[in-house]
Structure 1
Amino acid sequence: MATTRRKKTPAPAPAPAKCRVCKGSGEVSITVRVGRKQRSVGAQTGLCLTCLGSGEATD
């Protein structure tokens, strides 16, 4: 009696590590300053320069 060989399913790939600066969102908050006295008027979101917006760690 012959037995059939079963194929093993490959293990799923590990999830990529999240960026430490933006915590995986791809965006960072920057304080906006205006005027001669450089007063703060609010926050603006911008692209994370560490991961270039992907949210994945490059290290």
Structure 2
Amino acid sequence: MARKKTPESKSAECSVCKGTGEVSRTVEVGRKRRAVGQQTGFCLNCLGSGEAPAE
């Protein structure tokens, strides 16, 4: 008896980080919140996995 192959489920990319798992944020300093550069952090939407969260 032949086994049926189940299709591999490909999850969609996260729309916020485009599948990278990282996002850039502007770093601000001082009371006037002057922008001094950018910092990379992990995506809070997919928690760094790069895959779209399950709904």
How does the TM-score come out when normalised to structure 1? Answer: 0.77
Q: Please state whether the residue corresponding to 1:31 is helix, strand or coil.
A: strand
- Structure 2 match to 1:37: 32
- Structure 1 match to 2:52: 57
Structure 1: which 5+ residue stretches go unaligned? none
RMSD of aligned alpha carbons? 1.6
TM-superposed deviation, 1:8: 6.3
Structure 2: which 5+ residue stretches go unaligned? none
**Identity among equivalent pairs (%):** 59
TM-superposed deviation, 1:11: 5.4
The structure 1 segments of at least 4 consecutive aligned residues displaced by more than 4 Å after TM superposition are none
For residues 22 and 9 of structure 1, what CA distance do their matches in structure 2 show? Answer: 35
For residues 11 and 43 of structure 1, what CA distance do their matches in structure 2 show? Answer: 44
> How many equivalent pairs are there?
54
How does the TM-score come out when normalised to structure 2? Answer: 0.82
For residues 22 and 10 of structure 1, what CA distance do their matches in structure 2 show? Answer: 32
When Rg is computed on C-alpha atoms for both structures, the one with the higher figure is 1
- Structure 2 match to 1:21: 16
